[in-house]
Structure 1
Amino acid sequence: MSDNQSINTTTSEPAIQFGEGSEAAPVSENRQRLNELAQQLASEVQRKRALVAKVDTMQRAKQAAQGDAAAARQQWGTKLRQSDGTLTRDIQKLRANERSALSLAEEYEAMEGEISAELPRLELELAEVADRCLSTANGVISEAASQAYEELLVNLGDSLAVAFALFSKAENAGVNWRQSANADELASKFFGRLGNAARQRLDDATVTEQVAERLAFPAMDMSEVDMQLAGSVAARIRRRAELNAEARRD
């Protein structure tokens, strides 16, 4: 998954319908947990965006103050030359403006540093939540796959068995028993054809839509997540150790 990828699907309801006439399936613990984690992820993403916006505001304010200082410096320098070195009231006022702007720029820079210092820990927390989201989503996928397989056996088990039995008879019809295919060979051939037929329909719109309906994922925005950090437990352990060491030094 790329850094800018997000999973946008419908949010699970207390019970999920899997088609007309089917009973409502109760939401599993995994689905409930995924919904909670998706909300937590959204909250962490908003926190990071707000923090980054504050840093950007401080940077722009600092640059504006530095620009004001440079303009004041140029103005009083020009006036000083025009007055043959005499410190007029206007020159002194411009010099005071320059010092004030520089002091303000320093303060904005300090504030920018303070806010930026919060980002590494927030990025770690965001990566941890994203990792839990993805792990829980995998659990939901496994549950949906198991349920779909059980439904297939219930609804089509007999039909598949009949089709396989007829296929086996057709394959061995008129063949000497010594040359006839055994059950494993017949199963490999029959289900191989069945698998090829299923794979050809994987990209069908109806199949894609039904898969999305069964998974019923909540929206999971990963655009602000460091996916390398989220995908590596070791990297997160190192990051946390570094942050804790910095906190002890402070």
Structure 2
Amino acid sequence: MSEIQTTNTTTSELAIQLGEGAEAAPVSTSRQRMNELAQQLASAVQRKHALVAKVDTMQRAKQAAQGDAAAARQQWSAKLRDADGNLTRDVQKLRANERSALSLAEEYQAMEDEIAAELPQLELELAELADCYFSTAEGVTSEAASQSYEQLLAQAGDSLAVAFSLFSKAENAGVHYRQSASTGELASTFFGRLGEAVRHRLNDCAVTDQVAQQLALPPMDMSAVDMELVRSPARRSQLRAQISTGSAV
């Protein structure tokens, strides 16, 4: 399981950049909430890693104890045969070692079960936090899109209107007014060409960098989150019910 890494982003870093050299806009409630959820997710992920590490430790300790028990059994079994069935001191000592190792293995198994019992609740917590995070991030994206659109109109609205007006005059130049294209037809052609030109630039580094800067989403690795659980409220409800009845595995 890969380690989840989360970059804590400060409030000032989350401020929306409306353009190079522009002042940062106030941080919205949605953006603040998104950052809080990212930090909560990071904390829950760390707790999950700690639990999983403890389970792994118990498993290794149990396997080591079982190995010790198996080795002790082989040794006393061989010595018992060498002694023609007599319970020598060495045989009795090795048998005691076997019992002790088996007892340890049982205790490690019990500890592993106790620790693992906490994982379903943590999985549910992670899934619900991730669901809230994704929903909040969608709101932040909508805010950024709206602000970017308003900025476009403020900065380039007049230029677009002038360009469209000149395009319209050029298209209808020398055409009888009854045969001239309507404003709607001209707009469809003009903005269709404009849209095509914009689409060609979507993957430009300058564009993708500005998109990432304006969204300012905390970089997160969700590999430790059960995404099927995130996407299924029904599964979360079922798991919640299992936890409440103590039947979650």
Range into which the TM-score falls when normalised by the shorter chain:
over 0.9
The 8 Å contact of residues 6 and 38 in structure 2, kept in 1 or not, is answered as no
Shift, 1:12, TM fit? 4.7
Question: Structure 1 residues 231 and 4 mapped into 2: Cα distance closer, same or farther (>3 Å)?
Answer: farther
Indicate the residue corresponding to 1:11 in structure 2.
9
Indicate the residue corresponding to 1:223 in structure 2.
223
Shift, 1:233, TM fit? 1.7
Indicate the residue corresponding to 2:141 in structure 1.
141
Indicate the residue corresponding to 1:76 in structure 2.
76
Shift, 1:16, TM fit? 4.2
Question: Structure 1 residues 71 and 59 mapped into 2: Cα distance closer, same or farther (>3 Å)?
Answer: same
Indicate the residue corresponding to 1:210 in structure 2.
210
CA distance in 1, matches of 2:74, 2:183: 93
Question: Structure 1 residues 159 and 128 mapped into 2: Cα distance closer, same or farther (>3 Å)?
Answer: same
Aligned pair count? 246
Task: For structure 2, list consecutive stretches of 5 or more residues without a partner in the other structure.
Answer: none
Q: Per-residue CA shift, 1:54-97, capped at 9, x if unaligned?
A: 11111111100000000000000000010000100000000000
The ranges of structure 1 where at least 4 consecutive aligned residues each deviate by more than 6 angstroms after the TM superposition are 3-10
Shift, 1:4, TM fit? 7.5
Q: Which amino acid aligns with 1:90?
A: D
The 8 Å contact of residues 4 and 222 in structure 1, kept in 2 or not, is answered as no
The 8 Å contact of residues 41 and 220 in structure 1, kept in 2 or not, is answered as no
Question: Structure 1 residues 7 and 172 mapped into 2: Cα distance closer, same or farther (>3 Å)?
Answer: farther
Q: Per-residue CA shift, 1:165-222, capped at 9, x if unaligned?
A: 1111222222333332222221111111111111111111111111111111123331
Q: Secondary structure at the match of 1:221?
A: coil
**Which is worse superposed, 86-95 or 182-191?**
182-191
CA distance in 2, matches of 1:119, 1:160: 57
TM-score by length of 1: 0.92
**Which is worse superposed, 5-14 or 59-68?**
5-14
Shift, 1:162, TM fit? 0.7
Whether 1:165 aligns to 2:165 is: yes
Alignment of 1:2-151 (within 5 A): 11-14=9-12, 15-151=15-151
The 8 Å contact of residues 42 and 221 in structure 1, kept in 2 or not, is answered as no
Question: Structure 1 residues 174 and 40 mapped into 2: Cα distance closer, same or farther (>3 Å)?
Answer: same
CA RMSD in angstroms comes to 2.1
Q: Which amino acid aligns with 2:34?
A: L
**Which is worse superposed, 87-96 or 190-199?**
190-199
Instruction: Pick 1 or 2: higher relative contact order, CA cutoff 8 A, min separation 6.
Output: 1
Identical aligned residues as a percent: 71
Shift, 1:17, TM fit? 3.7
CA distance in 2, matches of 1:10, 1:171: 54
The 8 Å contact of residues 59 and 112 in structure 1, kept in 2 or not, is answered as yes
CA distance in 1, matches of 2:190, 2:5: 36
Q: Per-residue CA shift, 1:85-111, capped at 9, x if unaligned?
A: 010000000000001101110111111
